């Protein structure tokens, strides 16, 4: 997360008033359905990208020393927190559109992650909990080729909810669970409080590049929606409220590939109500 965005987010979130009624937000303009359809089309387009989640074909945790990765020639040398490619010019790798066969690869822990390309495959280094791995996409993935879309609940303005924003006195460090079994330390600035079918509930987000990022599970899981929860992003609160558009709740990457490293809901984000909005489960990922 960029430091400037983090500072701005914290400033906004801590200065907001708290007392405000909870109500369903009106649809954006008079084009709620058209806007949702455009958003949904962009969502599917992103999944279908050659380096989208549907194309992810491998996650290879690296051990100190030289690592061989199936389907990729040469080797990947791990020294400390640095990963270097050791290959031959004829192996056909490019980096940034230029031939590349020897050198360090920047991970996603920094500002710019390197993406190494060879034929239909793209490889990049990721860092999770202090460990490094090579993530591999394949544009020719049969999963990507067979993708026909995602079933959703019917879009409904009723699920575009204006929640009361309750900022914490200071942002809290929370341990975000993950499918890897290793939590990550995240900043939680407050919680969003709202009512579903007469029952008051709350969700605690973490900060992600100036926005609020919610990982939640509700009682539609695991039969209708993914058992590991869904993701929802919201803009920073304004006037003591935050808009939660559950019509735009999405499946985490783990629904589409076993090679993702998804966060799981905080315990307080497991809701005792049904959120019948957003994406349903996909491809046996319940």
**What does the alpha-carbon distance between residue 153 and residue 173 come to, in Å, rounded to a whole number?**
34
List beta partners, residue 84: 77, 104
Distance CA 272, CA 286 (A): 18
H/E element, 10: helix 3-14
Bridge partner list, 231: 215, 250
SS3 267: helix
pLDDT single digits (tens) 37-60: 999 999 999 999 999 999 999 999
CA quadruple 101, 106, 108, 109: dihedral positive or negative?
A: positive
Give the containing element (helix H, strand E) for 23.
Answer: strand 23-24
37 φ, ψ (degrees, to nearest 5): -60, -40
Q: Model pTM?
A: 0.85
Residues linked to residue 212 through DSSP beta bridges, in sequence order:
207, 234
Q: For residue range 214-237, list pLDDT tens digits in order.
A: 999 999 999 999 999 999 999 999
Specify the DSSP element, H or E, that contains 245: strand 241-245
109-163 residue pLDDT tens? 988 999 999 999 999 999 998 999 999 999 999 999 999 999 999 999 999 999 9
pLDDT digits 0-9 by tens, 183-192: 999 999 999 9
pLDDT digits (tens, 9 = 90+) for 50-100: 999 999 999 999 999 999 999 999 999 999 999 999 999 999 999 999 999
């Amino acid at each position: 997360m960029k430091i400037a965005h983090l500072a701005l987010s914290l400033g906004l979130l801590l200065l907001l008033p708290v007392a405000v009624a909870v109500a369903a937000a009106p649809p954006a303009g008079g084009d709620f359905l058209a806007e949702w359809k455009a958003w949904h089309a962009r969502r599917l387009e992103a999944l279908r990208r050659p380096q989208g989640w549907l194309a992810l074909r491998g996650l290879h945790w690296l051990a100190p020393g030289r690592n061989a990765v199936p389907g990729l020639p040469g080797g990947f040398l791990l020294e400390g927190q640095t990963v270097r490619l050791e290959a031959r010019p004829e192996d056909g790798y490019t980096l940034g559109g230029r031939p590349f066969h020897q050198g360090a690869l920047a991970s996603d822990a920094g500002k710019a992650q390197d993406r190494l390309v060879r034929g239909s495959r793209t490889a990049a280094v990721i860092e999770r909990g202090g460990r490094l791995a090579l993530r591999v996409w394949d544009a020719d993935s049969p999963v990507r080729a067979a993708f026909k879309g995602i079933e959703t609940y019917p879009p409904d303005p009723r699920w575009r909810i204006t929640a009361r924003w309750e900022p914490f006195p200071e942002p809290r460090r929370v341990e975000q669970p993950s499918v890897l079994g290793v939590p990550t330390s995240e900043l939680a600035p407050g919680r969003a409080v709202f009512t579903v079918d007469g029952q008051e509930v709350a969700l605690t987000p973490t900060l992600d590049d100036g926005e609020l990022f919610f990982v939640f599970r509700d009682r539609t899981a695991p039969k209708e929606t993914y058992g590991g929860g869904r993701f929802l992003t919201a803009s920073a609160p304004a006037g003591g409220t935050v808009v939660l558009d559950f019509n735009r709740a999405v499946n985490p990457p783990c629904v589409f590939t076993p090679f993702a490293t998804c966060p799981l809901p905080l315990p307080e984000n497991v809701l005792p109500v049904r959120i019948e909005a957003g994406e349903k489960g996909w491809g046996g990922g319940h």
